[in-house]
Amino acid sequence: MFALADGNNFYVSCERSMNPRLAGRPVVVLSSNDGACIARSNGAKELGVKMAQPWFQVRHLERSVGLIAVSANHELYGDLSARMMAIEARYAPQQEVYSVDESFLSFDGVRGDLVAIGRDIRASVLKEIGIPTSIGFGATKTLAKLANHIGKTADRKPGSYPAHLAQVCDFSRLSHQELDALFAATEVGNVWGVGKRITEKLQAGGIRTVLDLVRADPATLRSQFSVTLEKTLLELRGTSCMEIDDDPAPRQQILVSRSFGTPITHVDGIIEAASEFASRAAERLRGQASVAGAIGVFFSTSPFRQNDRQHSVNVTIPLARPTADSAVLVSSVSVAVRGQFRPGFKYAKAGAVLSDLRPVGLEQGELDLFSAIETEATSASDLNRAKLMTAMDALNHRFGRDSVRLGSTSAGSSGADLRVWATKQERRSPRYTTRWAEIPVVRTK
């Protein structure tokens, strides 16, 4: 038996957990540079705000109906997510963190009333961090995901599904007739893994509801679509094709990129931004105990600014030795940027990508009969550098991000364009749980 625990309107709920004055009011969370709506409260959805809708298109609702917009505060969301996952993990022997707001739990061998357990999970998360959740139980991961959708929808839209399924929905309690009724009332596009294009093709073939999909022929689906959709069908029928992955494989590529708050015209500005992104990527690389054999850097003008001259750069630098050393990676990026930068352009985006990743210690040896002493010295130096990086990560973890950083990620040589690339977050809330300087203050009289 599987469960999917999901934080409702997670980014908005994080903001409300720290600022109760937002409760009951329509709220949207804006993307990088405050450009688009990436999370919406139920009230904002009722106002017609669409996912990823540009903010300028709905900004008039701020004055007319009191819509509140906040800048994305990913540091806060990440911390509350980790706390939520830790709470949920107490209730099951296995957990797979699926996304920032979702986790699968395995309840194989767990005795007791699953609905009661689900309500207990929900109550604990709400009490400890203030995040409302929905819980769905099913014999497969796909069924658990669908049960979660029905539980969440029954709570948000009374009358859409039976009221007793709201918040916590357990398919194992339902008869075949009850399940068929739910499946018939649910559009096929709400099934996990059935995207927009597949939905359109299924609908064209007469498959419009989940029940239609459940009754479809597996061989036909496999021939017309893919083996993945066939597995989805089998999962909907109760045959488990996916297990809990509580030890996910390390990433094969790490990318950090961002659009700039203000266009950059000077090389030092690009170097600072690219160095920052390379440093962030290196931190993630060390976090999964890997090293990189190559690093790429790219920067470009905006294709949407048609009156500007256009230029883009994308280069990959092979590394002599695989490394996770921020200084080495940042140095490689800086050299590449200086070699590729062209003056006279308004650069709007940049990024760094680590590739050819492998576990630490798994390195290809070199046959050199005359460099034994040099190799020993290099190994000792690498060990010291690794300890330095570990210490830097530990300090940043303890005292907050950027407490210790490389000089090139904070200032260029001439002072031109420095930090103008930083994302605009004019409406960001304080990072209450991760920054001492921004911790909530309680005043009494």
Mean per-residue pLDDT of the chain? 89
Query: How many angstroms separate the CA atoms of 219 and 146, rounded?
Result: 23
187-248: CATH topology? DNA polymerase; domain 1 (1.10.150)
Query: How many angstroms separate the CA atoms of 107 and 115, rounded?
Result: 12
- 23-27, 239-243, 367-371: least confidently modelled range: 367-371
| Confidence at residue 245, expressed as pLDDT on a 0 to 100 scale | 80
Spatial neighbors of 89 by CB under 8 A, at least 6 apart, are 95, 103, 105
Mean pLDDT of 339-343: 93
The long-range contacts involving 170-179, CB below 8 angstroms and separated by at least 24 positions, are: 170/114, 170/115, 170/118, 170/136, 170/137, 171/136, 171/137, 171/138, 171/139, 171/143, 171/144, 171/146, 171/147, 172/1, 172/114, 172/137, 172/138, 172/139, 173/114, 173/115
Query: How many angstroms separate the CA atoms of 238 and 221, rounded?
Result: 17
| Confidence at residue 412, expressed as pLDDT on a 0 to 100 scale | 41
| Confidence at residue 368, expressed as pLDDT on a 0 to 100 scale | 52
1-174: CATH topology? Alpha-Beta Plaits (3.30.70)
Query: Cβ(290)–Cβ(306) under 8 Å?
Result: no
Residue spans of alpha helices (H) in 93-225: 114-129, 141-156, 176-184, 196-204, 210-214, 218-224
| Confidence at residue 363, expressed as pLDDT on a 0 to 100 scale | 56
CATH 3.30.1490.100 fits 254-366+392-409, yes or no: yes
Query: Cβ(409)–Cβ(275) under 8 Å?
Result: yes
Query: How many angstroms separate the CA atoms of 297 and 316, rounded?
Result: 6
- 385: pLDDT strictly greater than 90: no
Per cent of the chain over pLDDT 70 is 92
| Confidence at residue 443, expressed as pLDDT on a 0 to 100 scale | 84
Q: What is the DSSP letter of 120?
A: H
Place of tokens 């950090």: 256
Q: Specify the 3-state DSSP secondary structure of 220.
A: helix
Query: Cβ(133)–Cβ(6) under 8 Å?
Result: yes
Per-residue pLDDT reduced to its tens digit, 280-327: 999 999 999 999 999 999 999 988 888 899 999 999 999 988 999 999
Query: Cβ(15)–Cβ(429) under 8 Å?
Result: yes
- 110: pLDDT strictly greater than 90: no
- 414: pLDDT strictly greater than 50: no
Query: Cβ(19)–Cβ(431) under 8 Å?
Result: no
One-letter identity of residue 212: D
* b/e burial code for range 189-207 (CB count within 10 A of at least 16 → b): bebbebeeebbeebeeeeb
Per-residue pLDDT reduced to its tens digit, 353-381: 999 999 987 655 554 544 454 555 556 67
Query: How many angstroms separate the CA atoms of 329 and 125, rounded?
Result: 40
Domain boundaries in the chain? Answer: 1-174, 187-248, 254-366+392-409
Q: Give the residue, 95 or 251, on which the prediction is more confident.
A: 95
- 130: pLDDT strictly greater than 90: yes
Query: How many angstroms separate the CA atoms of 322 and 385, rounded?
Result: 13
**Residue 31 tokens, joined:** 């993307």
Query: Cβ(422)–Cβ(258) under 8 Å?
Result: no
Give 402's pLDDT tier (boundaries 50, 70, 90): confident
Q: Which residues pair with 6 in a beta bridge?
A: 102, 134
